[in-house]
A and B are shown apart, each in its own frame.
Chain A
Amino acid sequence: MSSENSTLVKLNNAGFKQNDKWLVEGVSLTVKKGKIVTLIGPNGSGKSTTAKIALGIYKNIEGSVEKYTNKVGYVPQKISIDWTLPLRVYDFMLLTENIKDEAIDEALTLTGVIHLKNKNLGNLSGGEFQRVLIARAISKKPELLVLDEPVQGVDYTGEIALYELIKRISDTLNCGILLISHDLHTVMTATDHVVCLNGHVCCSGTPMDVAKNNEYKTLFGEQASQILSVYEHKHDHVHSDKGEIKKN
């Protein structure tokens, strides 16, 4: 019972087919309170699709999804907003829930964009907009956060700060996070569970388990698994220019 209580969303052998083509199939994963589950995989491997299945955006799915919360914050990978709408950052923050002004200010301050509060959403840069998206998702104090490439377009120092923020939020709000990122380097430090996708689940487990997995190595290359292990026993050596991840 207690383990069921902490489960926020559970995918059982879930898959989704569009125009007779499987976007992803056979995915099973569980996101629990206070845990960060990260999806990794090459382009077109079904990461975003898996997130949308978990969120209930895709309806006619194979397998099943059990969702135990309605307090969800979502940062989509791609968002197309129609600029026929006059929409300020402030209006956008209130999009799906009426939250208090203090909560809005707090979230915008945390992501470093409080000065943009009354700006028109259409006038923001890509990185600024991304910060607003994250602020909107966390301001409603969700139980489940789904972050699909949340720091795309954000400058490097900002990227690190935002990942630290995400980790802190998972601790303070005790919410579960489903994270999608192609940046293995930064992500692995905070992740509890990694699911490696390539149209199906290649392998999953702790970052260390995944790094050792052979399928993972063929997908991302030998170097990527070294990066993972660096983080598993951090501080025991210095790394030179190996920070770069080479994807094959």
Chain B
Amino acid sequence: MFDDFFIRALIAGLGIALVTGPLGCFVVWRRLSYFGDTLAHSALLGVTLAYSFELNIALSVFIISSLIALILIQLQKKTNLPGDALLGLLAHSSLAVGLVVIGFLTFIRFDIMGLLFGDILAVTTDDLLVIWTGGAVILLVLKLIWKPLFASTVNYELAEAEGLNPDRAKAIFTILMAAVIAISIKMVGLLLITGMLIIPAAMARNISNSPQKMVLFSIIGGLLSVLLGLFSSLEFNTSSGPSIIMAALVLFILSLLNIKQSIKLKN
């Protein structure tokens, strides 16, 4: 029926959508989309280092992204520059360093397009293992820090005053962001991964009235995007990463229609 590589792609994509759904909601709520971009850009450096020192790609990306997040926190404390300027600085300099390092690694043939936009069809069985175990750990940790993280997203001082330790939750969440980028970089690529986090969550925001519902719809939206995207990429022979993001966009547009309708009903 379908080829093995396509089945693997489906399993990988669905696994990633399960994780990006809830995490994406926090990215939208906490206004972290540019932060996600920055971590994703730094992933290129992670990939090149993985090739240079023959490390596992996901592990190397995870380490570099976490490092960039740490540097960001330090820069925020030590400088008076606004957050978005710092994010831009880190995003583009780590991307530049990554590209320069690639230039030196002449002995390896890089699939730059695959790195930037993803190559889900090249997913191996080992990758599946990384995605599903990594994803399970990420979801478990997110569940454990949900209360303090959500409370401090609503209001930091309430969470702190009532003993929930929001700083620790924030630090752990930053690590989870690095981890989700590490496991999904191969599928959607570093330029599109933030889209996978934000677009299903944004779609879910349009049709939900409680945080739990938004998380649920965000997961469903992500899963549908992967299914729609992958089958249409097979049908129309388009690249898989962009097809998945485009499917998510279509769902988002549909959710806008829902808003219009509910406004009409109110009037």
Residues of chain A at the chain B interface (Cβ within 8 Å): 52, 55-57, 70, 72-74, 76, 79-82, 84-88, 90-92, 95-97, 120, 140, 146
Contact = CB atoms under 8 A, between A and B. Distances in A.
20 contacts: A52-B157, A52-B161, A55-B161, A72-B162, A72-B163, A79-B157, A82-B29, A82-B31, A82-B153, A84-B29, A85-B154, A86-B205, A86-B210, A86-B213, A86-B214, A92-B154, A95-B155, A96-B151, A96-B163, A120-B209
Contacts of A73: 162
B164 interface: yes
- Interface SS of chain B: helix
A101 to B, nearest CB: 15
A70 B163 CA distance: 6
Contacts, number: 75
B211 A74 contact: no
Smallest CB-CB A-B distances: 5 pairs: A55-B161, A74-B161, A96-B162, A70-B163, A57-B160
Contacts of B155: 76, 79-81, 95
Interface of B: 28-29, 31, 147, 150-151, 153-155, 157-164, 205, 208-214
Nearest to B208: A86
Contacts of A120: 209
Contacts of A56: 160-161
Contacts of A90: 210
B158 A95 contact: yes
A2 B211 CA distance: 44
A57 B160 CA distance: 6
A78 to B, nearest CB: 9
A117 to B, nearest CB: 12
Contacts of A52: 157, 161
Contacts of A87: 154, 210-211
B153 A85 contact: yes
B210 A91 contact: yes
A96 B158 contact: yes
A95 B154 contact: yes
Contact of B209 (A74, A79, A80, A88): A88
A87 B160 CA distance: 20
Contacts of B209: 86, 88, 120
A84 B211 contact: no
B211 A57 contact: no
B82 to A, nearest CB: 17
B87 to A, nearest CB: 18
A65 to B, nearest CB: 12
Contacts of A79: 155, 157-158
Contact of B159 (A70, A91, A96): A96
Contacts of A70: 163
A39 to B, nearest CB: 16
A57 B213 contact: no
A87 B211 CA distance: 6
Max chain B Cβ within 10 angstroms of own Cβ: one of A52, A56, A86, A88: A86
B29 A85 contact: yes
A55 B160 contact: yes
